[in-house]
Structure 1
């Protein structure tokens, strides 16, 4: 499964044959067919496993106060992307984009994450349509930002927990090392940025949907001073 996550993250679905997969996995092709029936079945199993792991990582620790849970959700999401880059790319960008079942799996993780954020912010998972759209928009931005961020962390060589340094200097999209002022942010700094962006989104939601008030600015992880602490080093 780890081999498949990396292969499908780095190579398009159509470009990979079962022979290629078996060769990279070091097993007989018939063994893959025995367990997964087809290449599509193998791919679906990889996506489902990756999605389940991401949701578990992002949505854990449900006994925490709501605002802290939101922050932990963001950090858990980034932690997964940082240490399982190939799997994350598979979930967000890779594979059979026109396959309805694959799209359903990938949409399910987005819905679960939006519901987790809503529960942390409002204490319930259901949302009015405009509030849901706003959070989906924020999550879409999170996906793009996270892909850019992990692209600058260097090649992790797989999906192990070793990851790489969270502060990278590798080139991204053709940019030379050190092109970004101040270097690439670490996970805490990026998490603070995303939580602040979420705070702004929740404030806008409140303007359109008063029954969905933004958590008070003084409430822990949504407080301005607290969110800037990882960035400024203040306590």
Structure 2
């Protein structure tokens, strides 16, 4: 086989692997890991079960590949659109996070809760995603992804709250996503204000107006 043939074969393999991951993302969107067998997966994908084993070695390997692919989309969304105003970037990051959680509930719960049992690989993926989301928020707030440890801890605390709130929101399916997004952004503003009190290197970013989609979701203050 010459180099051109090898490249063609590699390209086809990558396409087929990507197709299997896309199928898996749909299958596992709202279905737990234990609820699907490899026979189920192969049947939905329209391939022989051996092909799934060929690309992913095991059901667990397949599931981890799906989670990594899903998380890559989330991280890409958070780190993108750097030319947008700060408030719009934060809105897109938080709203994208909530949309992802809603559309991939089983995978999201797996990531946040650590997987099946104590799964170190799932936890490693979760930790990498957390670090990337914290870095994206820091870059939007301070123009620098490298921030002091105390500021990082504060943003990690906010993100842990985001995870808990999102899990509970998924369980109740209320209030509206826009309202939850507005709440999380207000909480982030409070976190950035607190960071500024402790870290002179991280002054509080200037306040910006909420995007229209969020401004409409913020409830009016109660009348005295």
Q: Check whether the contact 1:82–1:150 (CA below 8 A) recurs between aligned residues.
A: yes
SS class of match (1:141): helix
SS class of match (1:202): helix
- Between the aligned partners of 1:25 and 1:147, the Cα distance in structure 2 is 29
- Between the aligned partners of 2:131 and 2:84, the Cα distance in structure 1 is 21
Which residue is 1:98 aligned to?
A: 118
Out of 63, 77, 82, the residue aligned to residue 62 of structure 1 is 82
Unaligned runs of 5+ in 2: 1-20
Q: CA deviation at 1:16?
A: 5.8
Q: What does 1:106-117 align with in structure 2 at a 5 Å threshold?
A: 106-117=126-137
Which residue is 1:164 aligned to?
A: none
Which residue is 1:232 aligned to?
A: 219
Task: Identify if the C-alpha distance between structure 1 residues 12 and 207 changes in structure 2 by more than 3 Å, giving closer, same or farther.
Answer: same
Which residue is 1:220 aligned to?
A: 209
Q: Check whether the contact 1:66–1:123 (CA below 8 A) recurs between aligned residues.
A: no
1:1-22 CA deviation, whole Å, 9 max, x = no partner? 3554444864355x76534543
Q: What does 1:1-235 align with in structure 2 at a 5 Å threshold?
A: 1=21, 4-5=24-25, 6-7=27-28, 10-12=31-33, 17-23=37-43, 25=45, 27-93=47-113, 95-96=115-116, 98-153=118-173, 184-217=174-207, 219-221=208-210, 229-232=216-219
Q: Check whether the contact 2:178–2:214 (CA below 8 A) recurs between aligned residues.
A: no
- Count of aligned residue pairs for this structure pair: 200
Which residue is 1:173 aligned to?
A: none
RMSD over equivalenced CA pairs, Å: 2.9
Unaligned runs of 5+ in 1: 154-183
Q: Check whether the contact 1:97–1:103 (CA below 8 A) recurs between aligned residues.
A: no
- Between the aligned partners of 1:12 and 1:35, the Cα distance in structure 2 is 18
Which residue is 1:174 aligned to?
A: none
- Between the aligned partners of 2:105 and 2:29, the Cα distance in structure 1 is 12
Q: Structure 1 residues 132-141 or 32-41, which shifts more?
A: 32-41
- Between the aligned partners of 2:166 and 2:76, the Cα distance in structure 1 is 18
Taking structure 2 as the reference length, the TM-score comes to 0.76
- Between the aligned partners of 1:203 and 1:136, the Cα distance in structure 2 is 15
Return the structure number with greater helix share: 2
SS class of match (1:135): helix
